[in-house]
Amino acid sequence: MAASLQASVDSLQSSLQTLDSSISTLDSAVSDFPRLCKVLQTTRHFELLPEPTLREAQQLLLDEITPSIAHLLSLASNHVEKLSRREQALKAKCELQEGRLHSNDSHQSSSRGLGAMRDRHRQDAGSAVAKAAEYRRLVQKKERLKYTVERLELQSQQRERQLRKKDFVADTTSTEYIVWSKTDSEAAGYLRLCDSTYEDASPPLYSEEQRVWRARRSRQHAFRSLPSGLCEKQQLANGEKGAYADLG
């Protein structure tokens, strides 16, 4: 009995030894597995699917996007038609604007020509007006100068008359003769002797200019210092000689 048990114990021990060696062998075999896992680890970028699944997905996608694509195509076609119509309208507008610009250029050129003609006419009219104004100014200046000359002549005549009146003063031994112009209010057109009278039929005297002439004479002599244009005439009044102007 003890011999059989010993045999069982021996076989058990041999089995344990075999197990220990197997465990050690397994330990040495699997000790490098973690490193191998890290080395052999890969990233999966694509997934392989079966063809029927792929066809189903394609058909589903086609059924989903076909209406949207048709709608977008209709919108695109409508927009293209709208753009084409706008293009035609813009072309027509461009042609119209070109025609207007051409007409405006021609009108502006013609208007510039007309404006230049108007400017020339205005300049001519302005020069004519300026010439007319200058002519009127010169005429007025001429009238003023003429009036000034007449006034100065009148003043000179008055001064001369006053000087002659002062120079020729009558005395008791002389007889005074006065020659009056046609414009004198006292004796226009006649020769009047201070102390005797002439006939009313005496001819007119010196024209326009009034002067006073004095002459001295004795009763035995005629006038000797009469101005030019005067002539002597025998008068019957008081039996003396007189003088008159025959200037018409």
| pLDDT score recorded for residue 167 | 72
Q: CA 2 to CA 230: how far, in whole Å? A: 222
Render the chain in DSSP notation, one character per residue. -HHHHHHHHHHHHHHHHHHHHHHHHHHHHHTTHHHHHHHH----------HHHHHHHHHHHHHHHHHHHHHHHHHHHHHHHHHHHHHHHHHHHHHHHHHHHHHHHHHHHHHHHHHHHHHHHHHHHHHHHHHHHHHHHHHHHHHHHHHHHHHHHHHHHHHHHHHHHHH----TT---EEE--TT-SSSTT-EEESSS---TTPPP-S-S----------TTS----PPTTEEEEE--GGG-EEEEE---
| pLDDT score recorded for residue 70 | 93
Of the candidates 61, 63, 80, the one whose C-alpha atom is nearest the C-alpha of residue 72 is 80
Q: CA 3 to CA 15: how far, in whole Å? A: 18
Q: CA 56 to CA 222: how far, in whole Å? A: 169
What are the 10-residue block averages of pLDDT along the chain, 248 residues in total?
A: 78 90 89 84 77 92 93 94 92 87 71 69 76 88 89 89 74 42 41 41 43 42 41 40 40
Q: CA 30 to CA 28: how far, in whole Å? A: 6
Q: CA 53 to CA 34: how far, in whole Å? A: 37
| pLDDT score recorded for residue 68 | 92
| pLDDT score recorded for residue 1 | 64
| pLDDT score recorded for residue 115 | 65
| pLDDT score recorded for residue 18 | 92
CA distances from 111 to 2, 88, 108, 115 (A): 149, 33, 5, 6
| pLDDT score recorded for residue 4 | 74
CA dihedral sign of residues 180, 181, 186, 191: positive
| pLDDT score recorded for residue 82 | 93
| pLDDT score recorded for residue 111 | 65
